[in-house]
Structure 1
């Protein structure tokens, strides 16, 4: 999201843009999350809805239901990689930024970014762009499709079998695919 915001401003000196597992708008993100939630077991969906309505998103039942979503669409490695666990622990230890900007988790977006969108400005991106996501990613194709459709000559790649944390789930393949794109555009800054 930050990369897209920078690229639409055309500051110069940017050789390329990589959009990794990111939405073009939070509305699309929330809509995609709702579709994925609808595929969860009924009891998990009910727990999520009940606790969100009651404002009890720290209840252990809600946290457990959130974990079901995360295991399907955020990181499919079992057990969760140490890097992911450490990042999550840091966020929980000091949740101010994440909770203020996003909300309590990846799919209940009630923070200051809830209305964020870059879609209407994507035509300004004038550097080679590569969009990647996982097959089971919470960043559903609908959320990142505007990048591909509105940025001239944008390319994309979907990692089969992966979810949101493609870099942790398939690190070698992620480095190979993204690294090849970066190498193709290294030392060719615009502006």
Structure 2
């Protein structure tokens, strides 16, 4: 039985460093799958299962976006430092530094899906395909649907959330407990949470700089710089085959994903009936089958 090699390291990004992990052999015949994690301000940990695709011949690149994990932490950076363009520049830098810019597929999960779509809309020559997983097309859409999901929470939960949001006490234990009711329904339905997902969750908890600046104190209380941002306007410019993935119980509801299905020219949509926001962990076997089928279709 052969062992798929894994290399880890950092590449310079301006004055900072981006941490990466490559599994498999880029340049060996099949495009590299480059994975963009969520957050923003999350880490690669919960996506580590994607490396299994390297065993089927697709090299897999995971990385921690600037601000968390193994990449440079900048807890004192001003809020306006953290912009989508910063992370698009970081992605371009990484693709070039790792030598995969001429032949790659992007997999973007949650926030990473919007980032991947924005990158793809510029029609980079080496991009072969795009996977947008559990990502809204815009944060205004996301916020509209969050109100719908919050209204369906058990009695008293949303009232607790709103009280603390209004008072600015979202760091309280009561808010956290109420938040977890939502998370267990719409972010991860598995109990207990998988170890790799907990690792990512704790990374954000330990350094929430980026998450707080761009998103806010929770998934459904987006008061950061992304609150008015989206990629709907650029979706018709995506020129590669695109796979959409979402869960039936996903916080990224069908209404938030619909613009991708309507506007991306070459697109297919797979809904995972027994999943919320992380089908790759909630339904891993079907997820792998869907991914391999899509990757094979790219030729």
- Normalised by the length of structure 1, the TM-score is 0.95
State the distance in 1 between where 2:280 and 2:215 align. 22
State the distance in 2 between where 1:98 and 1:130 align. 26
Residue in 2 that maps onto 1:145: 258
Give SS of 1:106's match. Answer: coil
Matches within 5 A, 1:41-60: 41-60=154-173
Matches within 5 A, 1:28-177: 28-177=141-290
Cα displacement string for residues 116-175 of structure 1 (whole angstroms, at most 9, x for unaligned residues)? 111111110111111010000000001010000001131000001210011111112111
State the distance in 1 between where 2:187 and 2:260 align. 21
Structure with the largest fraction of helix: 1
Residue in 2 that maps onto 1:7: 120
Give SS of 1:103's match. Answer: coil
Q: Cα distance, 1:98 vs. partner?
A: 1.1
- Greater gyration radius: 2
State the distance in 2 between where 1:101 and 1:158 align. 28
Structure with the largest fraction of strand: 2
State the distance in 2 between where 1:102 and 1:183 align. 35
Count of residues paired in the alignment: 186
Residue in 1 that maps onto 2:67: none
State the distance in 2 between where 1:183 and 1:115 align. 36
Residue in 2 that maps onto 1:22: 135
Q: Which runs of 5+ in 2 are unaligned?
A: 1-113
Q: Which runs of 5+ in 1 are unaligned?
A: 187-191
- Normalised by the length of structure 2, the TM-score is 0.61
8 Å Cα contact 2:240/2:266 also seen in 1: no
State the distance in 2 between where 1:130 and 1:7 align. 13
